[in-house]
């Protein structure tokens, strides 16, 4: 047994020394690009949430301004009504005194002119406030309509992702309890498949049972063309000592994610532009590597489904 192990180790050491650094660098570059794209999508999502919050704050400010302007308009209207009443009373007095005294007539005329001047000023102020109030109302309606559009698009995206999660769960129900889970988190659908369902130890060839699961997943993705599909390969922290073609866990995780992409591409309806393969090695565990159960959970493929945000970006960029 010891001699056999030494022979295998010697073979691996000789094989690893022959791995092309170009292949590794290409995979490393692809991973960097995928990581940058993931970060860009996260930033875009954060910007959308911030934009929504800003629009809601702007709408609240406009509503407050609208209410204040309405109060000012009502006060001006009340002042106007009071002055109009005074004017009417003075006009009545003027009519009554017109026959009795030229002095009274002159005094009343003066008061009438003053009141008329005040009324004209109040009417102008009231007209100005009414125009301003109408402008604020228009702005408030525009902001409300835009927020409603954004909320509608976001709600539609959320519903689409919920429907997608449910469709995948139904399609993969035969694999429940076999290391497969489907979750909806942060607006994305995560399909996690433990390696026991997909691969033999140290291999990146997908077994028949795993292939069936991936093909059933592909049948659902084929009818959802507006979904970005990221396939991530993960390992535990045990150093890879298998096939001499690979340099370690990172290579292995990348090979495995690429194997899943190749099966998905067999479905001609899936747009290859929506597919991305990434290897993350042992650097994104979901459980402890101190137990066999934890290591099994960490050895997995994650298919991360993200809605495309073109429509939201278009709304946010509109003037």
Quick one: pLDDT band at residue 249, thresholds 50, 70, 90?
Answer: very high
pLDDT digits (tens, 9 = 90+) for 144-201: 877 887 787 788 888 988 999 999 999 999 888 888 999 999 999 999 999 999 999 8
pLDDT of 19: 58
Cα 200 from chain centre: 37
Quick one: pLDDT band at residue 55, thresholds 50, 70, 90?
Answer: low
**Cα 200 from Cα 180, distance rounded (Å):** 16
**Cα 87 from Cα 180, distance rounded (Å):** 85
pLDDT of 109: 83
pLDDT digits (tens, 9 = 90+) for 18-35: 557 788 788 878 888 888
pLDDT of 96: 76
Between helices 21-97 and 102-171, what is the axis angle to 10°?
160
Mean pLDDT for the chain?
85
Q: SS3 of 154, please? A: helix
pTM, to two decimals: 0.56
Burial class (CB in 10 A: 0-12, 13-18, 19+), 27: buried
pLDDT of 259: 97
pLDDT digits (tens, 9 = 90+) for 62-109: 788 888 888 888 887 988 898 789 888 878 877 776 677 677 767 888
Burial class (CB in 10 A: 0-12, 13-18, 19+), 275: middle
């Amino acid at each position: 047994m010891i001699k056999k192990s030494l022979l295998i180790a010697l073979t691996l050491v000789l094989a690893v020394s022959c791995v092309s650094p170009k292949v590794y660098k290409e995979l490393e570059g692809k991973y960097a690009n995928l990581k940058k794209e993931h970060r860009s999508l996260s930033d875009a999502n954060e910007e959308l949430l911030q934009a929504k919050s800003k629009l809601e704050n702007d709408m609240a400010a406009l509503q407050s301004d609208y209410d204040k302007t309405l109060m000012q308009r009502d006060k001006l209207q009340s002042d106007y009504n009071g002055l109009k009443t005074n004017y009417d009373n003075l006009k009545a007095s003027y009519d009554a005194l017109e026959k009795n005294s030229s002095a009274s007539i002159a005094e009343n005329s003066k008061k009438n002119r003053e009141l008329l001047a005040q009324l004209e000023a109040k009417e102008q102020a009231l007209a100005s406030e009414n125009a301003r109030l109408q402008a604020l109302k228009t702005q408030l309606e525009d902001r409300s309509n835009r927020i409603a559009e954004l909320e509608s698009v976001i709600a539609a995206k959320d519903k689409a992702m919920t429907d997608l999660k449910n469709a995948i769960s139904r399609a993969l129900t035969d694999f429940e309890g076999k290391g497969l889970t489907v979750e909806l988190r942060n607006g994305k659908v995560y399909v996690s498949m433990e390696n026991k369902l997909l691969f033999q130890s140290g291999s990146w060839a997908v077994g028949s049972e795993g292939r069936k699961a991936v093909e059933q997943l592909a049948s659902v993705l084929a009818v959802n063309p507006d979904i970005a599909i990221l396939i991530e390969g993960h390992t535990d922290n045990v150093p890879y000592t298998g096939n001499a073609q690979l340099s370690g866990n990172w290579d292995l995780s990348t090979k495995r994610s690429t194997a899943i992409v190749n099966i998905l591409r067999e479905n001609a309806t899936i747009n290859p532009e929506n597919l991305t393969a990434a290897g993350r090695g042992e650097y994104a565990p979901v459980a402890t590597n101190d137990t066999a159960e934890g290591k099994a959970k960490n050895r997995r493929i994650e298919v991360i489904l993200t809605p495309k945000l073109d429509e939201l970006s278009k709304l946010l960029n509109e003037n």
